[in-house]
Structure 1
Amino acid sequence: MSDPLFILSVGVLIVVGGIIGAKLHPFLALLLGALAVAMLTPPEVIEQYALSKGTAPAAALAMAKKSVGERIATEFGNTCAKIGILIAMAAIIGKCMLESGAAERIIRSILRLTGIEKAPIAFLLSSFFLGIPVFFDTVLFLMVPLAKAMTLRIGKNYLLLVLCIMAGAAMANSLVPPAPGPLFLIGEMHIPMGLMMVTGVIVGLFTITSGYFFALWANKKWPIELRDSLDAKLEDMKSIAAKETKQLPSLGISLLPVAVPLFFICLDTAFSAFFKASEVPTTLVAIVKFFGDKNIAILTGGFIALWVLASQKKDAKKDGLTPFVQSALMSGGGIILITAAGGVFGGMLQQTGISSRIADMTKEYQMALIPMAFFIAAVVRTAQGSATVALITASGILSGMASNANLSFHPVYLGLAIGCGSKLVPWMNDAGFWIICKLSNLTEKEALKTISPLLVVMGLTGLIVIMIGAALFPLV
């Protein structure tokens, strides 16, 4: 009964069966799944899990003694702390950019530059390179409103645009430092950062290319229309799309709500990665650190978006901005709750010791190292939902092998294989799955048959490219 694999099976059955079979709201199904997993996990297993994460013995024992309700509430709060402000302010930015015409102005500029046919490629590459310095979920928050405006402009390809955004952001997040997962991985496996960045970009471009072709196929097979949502009413978007360009804000002003947060986040990332504290004036470091924090950065973007809206909407000046903020927060609040519930479910699964169990099962596995690295990361990701945890677990298992002097190729290939493996398979225990699902207004079934296989295709493509690269260019 306390076997992590058994507990995982029970949790999966409750969540998937509850959402698809019993038609439960995802928030309730995820909490029920988390409750079942938490109740089945023995206290000694929870204590061991906490100790494995470096928790002090007294704190680990206290964690194990917490009630099921306390553990669920703690994990719920932890997830909200990570994504609550981000989602709320991103909802406001999206609403304001759509209502003010800023998103429409950006889309018209993109179309003028690329043409209608190449617009999805522009979204794909933009999300990939934005995903290198910026958190995965932040890229989604900033790009999805543009996908909605683009769809209304060209009248088709909504699913294609959403999948392009997902493909680019997801692969950058697991392959290219300074994203958090790859940063940990290169430290654990002693891989030079510059080499990981260059090879990560190369492998990433191959994977997103395969993702693009899958997205084209999925878009033809399951075309999805743009739907009404609380933060983006089709009627309002159509009236904005009908405006002449001169009635819209300028391109420079339209970009500010997105460009300012990105600027500060990228600047903070650059300071952390390439400069020592002593090399930069203290005051400048303090300013960059303050505004470069993802919560402060997106809060700044939110206020800029409200200013852009106020300058464009006459009724906003007369009635105030509260109605616009209220409708945005109603949409964002639902996303926060479902995403936090997904975080609880994933967190309870981690406390079962599922990662350690998988590590033990694969320790003596005698397949070649690169596919093994991919396989371990993929199994851990599928089991507990976090790509970062999958990266950490797999790199911990393979770090000793990576330093083996007899290795016939550079350890960077193992790191890349772990990064690609950590993309498989996103489903309902993954907070990121719920973010993209709810931001884009896809149903759970639509997300499972489009987003999940998209990442499988890209991950497998990455594995093939890595194995070919290790054979042709071993770098040793």
Structure 2
Amino acid sequence: MSSLLIILLATALVLFCIVKLKLHAAISLLLGAVFTALCTSPEMIAAFAMQKGLNDAETLSLQQISLGKKVAQAFGNTSAKVGILVALASVIGAALMRSGAAERIIRSILKIFGKQNSSLAMLTGSFTLAIPVFFDTVFYLMIPLVKSLSIRNPKKFSLYLMATIAGGVMAHSLIPPTPGPLFVAEEMGIDLGAMIIGGLVVGIITILAGYLYAIWANKKWDLPVRDATDVKVADLQNFSAKTNNELPGLAISILPVLLPILLITGNTFSEIVFPKNVKLISILKTIGDANFALLISALVAMWLLWSQVKDHQKFKSFISEALSSAGMIILITSAGGAFGQMLQQTGIGAEVANLAGNFQIALLPMAFFVTALVRSAQGSATVAMITAMGVMSGVVNDQLAFHPVYLALAIGCGSKIFAWMNDSAFWIITKMSGMKVNEAIRHFSMLLVVMALAGLVAVMTLSILFPFV
């Protein structure tokens, strides 16, 4: 059985379990992961291991591991990446909303940008923050603001949500220092300055396209603000009715949002700004780790919450509800990650590489669609970019008719099609925003498709108008 056939059957199984049998998403995804692992042959695992650069001993170990342990390890790998972040982000979000801090921030945003431009504020703010910080972290921190802002105008909830997603998601694949674009730039010998500038230009074009789609989708489909486990809509409405004197100050309100961003950014650029200060770099790397930065922010947020409620029972209840909500998100996200990792082990990357070598099509669209196919098949944008780079390395030579940065940007745009159930970010966004699966496909997956295609058009046009060779 080929990798592509396994992926199609596994995908159909997950969809059948969720849509027809109405099984919980976590159970459906785990069943998909087990089915995929059962169908994956030792030869497929060997091809996957070769692509990952594993030695013979590591390859043999991967082939011999039991099915249950294999799925459990994949589940644990995803949980290790997002578990602490989701838990702490839920605490921060609940504290911001329960304390009234989110309401204070929204009032300040509306005062600066005006009610009519609040969605643009979400768009530009998310895009700017996502350059030094991973998109998922930015989303964790901004979703409380999106919900609080939507209380004033529930009909624009999807617009605010999609503007936040559109602003942040493209930076992850276009602008270093995030791993995907950083790897591609280094492998192709592209100056990081050129990659950053190119990523900014194409990124702005894509987020504007995404914003236009968000406006259209907001008018076409109604997306209600739903109650969450940790915070009810009625609670947010109560905060919107309070006077400014009843809310915490702006500085302390925004600190839990800005603090992790500043710490993570400091970590990202520490070696550039302080190249010779080893001790300072070490400190910045420690406190700038995403898990540690969000822990510090969570402590500040909890102190803020306590200063407002001053009731042990309420405080304990609010934190417990936040962690309970986070637990379900972590479970579903980890199951989705296990499914995605099992798909990767079928050797889909190598199979796509072989298929791509048999088709002589234009270089930029080829790079885009190879990346898109791998992304849709296994769920990881970074893995898709690395795989596509391996494919394109065999066809790229020194006689390109344009600067190689355009090829890197085409790969980055291709990594945004098609985010769905095998992508952990799909479940994080779906659950934290209260969307159903079909709503997430409309408001997240299709949003990414629009931005990715707009990015491809922009890259091809710019490579013709400004080849820089």
Higher mean C-alpha displacement, 86-95 vs 121-130: 121-130
Tell me the CA shift for residue 51 of structure 1: 3.3
The AA in structure 2 aligned to 1:293 is D
Task: Tell me the distance in 1 between the aligned counterparts of 2:295 and 2:330.
Answer: 16
Shift of 1:320: 6.5
Alignment match, 1:394: 388
* Offset, 1:348: 0.1
- Structure 2 counterpart of 1:340: 334
The answer to whether the aligner puts 1:331 opposite 2:325 as a matched pair is yes
Partner of 1:10: 9
Structure 1 residues 12-31: aligned runs within 5 Å: 12-31=11-30
Alpha-carbon distance in structure 2 between the residues aligned to 1:401 and 1:121: 40
Aligned pairs for 1:29-178 (under 5 A) are 29-178=28-177
Q: Which residue of 1 aligns with 2:370?
A: 376
Supply the distance in 1 between the matched residues of 2:57 and 2:402 (Cα, whole angstroms).
Answer: 43
C-alpha spacing 1:224/1:320, structure 2 compared with 1 (3 Å): closer
| Deviates further, 55-64 or 253-262 | 55-64
- The residue identity in structure 2 corresponding to 1:413 is Y
Note if contact 1:342-1:431 (Cα within 8 Å) is conserved in structure 2. Answer: yes
The unaligned stretches of length 5 or more in structure 2 are: none
Hey, what does 1:314 align to over in structure 2? 310
Distance 1:421 1:93 in 2: 33
Is the partner of 2:115 in helix, strand or coil? Answer: coil
In 1: Cα distance, 2:46 partner to 2:355 partner: 21
Question: Which amino acid in 2 is paired with 1:380?
Answer: V
- Say if 1:276 and 1:311 are closer, same or farther in 2 by CA, change over 3 A: closer
Residues 1:271 and 2:283 aligned together: no
Distance 2:308 2:37 in 1: 50
Q: Is the 8 A contact 1:152 1:237 kept in 2?
A: yes
Cα offsets for 1:273-310 (capped at 9, x unmatched): x2574x22x33112101110000001111111001111
The AA in structure 2 aligned to 1:311 is: S
CA contact 1:174–1:419 (8 Å) conserved in 2: yes
TM-score, structure 1 as length reference: 0.96
Q: In 1, are the aligned partners of 2:356 and 2:391 still within 8 Å (CA)?
A: no
1:292 and 1:234 map into 2 onto residues whose CA distance is: 33
Aligned to 2:295: 299
User: Could you tell me whether the CA contact under 8 Å between 2:375 and 2:419 is conserved in 1?
Assistant: yes
Q: What whole-Å deviation, never above 9, does each CA across 1:364-412 have from its counterpart, x for those lacking one?
A: 321110111111111111111111111101112113444x221110000
Q: Which amino acid in the other structure matches residue 389 of structure 1?
A: V
Q: Note the C-alpha offset of 1:150.
A: 0.4
Q: CA deviation at 1:96?
A: 0.2
Q: Matches of 1:319 and 1:161 in 2, distance apart?
A: 33
Hey, what does 2:350 align to over in structure 1? 356
Q: Is the 8 A contact 1:130 1:139 kept in 2?
A: yes
- The answer on whether the counterparts of 1:230 and 1:331 sit within 8 Å (CA) in structure 2 is yes
Change (3 A) 1:449 1:155: closer
- Rounded to whole Å, the distance in 2 between the matches of 1:79 and 1:65 is 21
Aligned residue number for residue 226 of structure 2 = 227
Does the CA contact (< 8 Å) of 1:127 and 1:139 recur in 2? yes
Distance 1:40 1:144, change over 3 A: same
For residues 183 and 460 of structure 1, what CA distance do their matches in structure 2 show?
Answer: 22
Q: Say whether 1:259 aligns with 2:239.
A: no
Q: Say yes or no: does 1:448 pair with 2:457.
A: no
**Does the aligned pair in 1 maintain the 2:274–2:281 contact within 8 Å?**
no
- Over the matched positions of the two proteins, sequence identity in percent amounts to 49
Residue 155 (structure 1) shift? 3.6
Q: Is the 8 A contact 1:188 1:396 kept in 2?
A: no
Question: How far apart are 1:16 and its partner, in Å?
Answer: 1.3
2:182 aligns with 183
- Which residue number corresponds to residue 459 of structure 1? 452
Q: 2:413 aligns with which of 420, 426, 429?
A: 420
Residue matched to 1:285: 281
- Letter of the structure 2 residue corresponding to residue 411 of structure 1: P
Cα deviation digits, residues 105-138 of structure 1 (max 9, x gap): 0000000011111101110111111111111110
Deviations 1:182-212 (A, max 9, x none): 1111011111100010110110101100100
5 Å-filtered alignment, 1:178-257, equals: 178-257=177-256
- The alpha-carbon deviation at position 247 of structure 1 amounts to 1.3
2 CA distance for matches of 1:12 and 1:155? 34
1:48 and 1:367 mapped to 2: Cα distance? 25
CA distance in 2, matches of 1:269, 1:263: 10
Partner of 2:361: 367
RMSD between superposed Cα atoms in Å: 1.2
Please say if residues 87 and 336 of structure 1, whose CA atoms lie closer than 8 Å, have aligned partners that are also in contact: yes
Unaligned segments of structure 1, at least 5 residues? none
CA distance in 1, matches of 2:321, 2:110: 29
Aligned amino acid, residue 422 of structure 2: N
Q: Find the residue that maps to 2:168 and give its secondary structure.
A: helix
1:156 match: secondary structure: helix
Pairwise CA distance, 1:50: 2.1
